[in-house]
Amino acid sequence: MRVRCADPGLATALAAVVPDEGAGLVFVADGPLATWDDTEAELAEVFRLTQPEVVENGPILYVVTTSALLGRAAPLDSAVADGLLAGARALAFERARFDGYASVIAVGDGVDDARVAEAAKNLLTTRASNGQPFMLGSEHLGAALP
């Protein structure tokens, strides 16, 4: 399984729990994104990495910040986060007949890397929250979820 994560601490935590073998992708969105070119590059990268894993019917897990998913972050970061959620929903729906899996982990402020990695492991194992965001932290409480 492929992991794309620029944060060294989170990358190490994910590497400890995500299987090395088999199809699948854990994609941690970069941020903050400063320009439209950065945003386009991020979306092109996620598409490039997702496509071959979908062909192999591997699980897809995107990781974003809760503030971006709720539209409380910078506009470009929020656009990418909500685009990834829309993509995960489409992948889950379109691959349902093949038992396909796609989800998003939304990480709140102060959530440590080990907790994110444990959530990733649990979601990939149980395939819970297929097509839906899995919220870590409490930033989302009282918010209308996308």
Q: What is the pLDDT of residue 9?
A: 98
Question: 97 vs 8, 60, 74, 91, 112, CA distance in Å?
Answer: 36, 16, 36, 11, 35
Q: Is the pLDDT of residue 65 over 90?
A: yes
Q: Give residue for tokens 């930033």.
A: 139
Task: Please state, for a pLDDT cut of 70, what percent of the chain lies above it.
Answer: 100
Where do the domains of the chain lie, and which CATH numbers do they carry? 2-136 (3.40.50.720)
Question: What pTM did the predictor assign?
Answer: 0.95
Q: Is 26 helix (H, G, I), strand (E, B) or coil?
A: strand
The mean pLDDT value for 63-80 works out to 97
Residues 36-50 pLDDT 10s: 999 999 999 999 999
Question: 145 vs 2, 47, 70, CA distance in Å?
Answer: 28, 24, 7
The mean pLDDT value for 18-45 works out to 96
Q: What is the pLDDT of residue 146?
A: 81
The mean pLDDT value for 82-103 works out to 97
Band (pLDDT 50/70/90 cuts) for residue 141 is confident
Band (pLDDT 50/70/90 cuts) for residue 143 is confident
Q: What is the pLDDT of residue 118?
A: 98
Cα gap 139→86, rounded to integer Å: 20
The mean pLDDT value for 11-21 works out to 94
Cα gap 75→110, rounded to integer Å: 21
Q: Is the pLDDT of residue 115 over 90?
A: yes
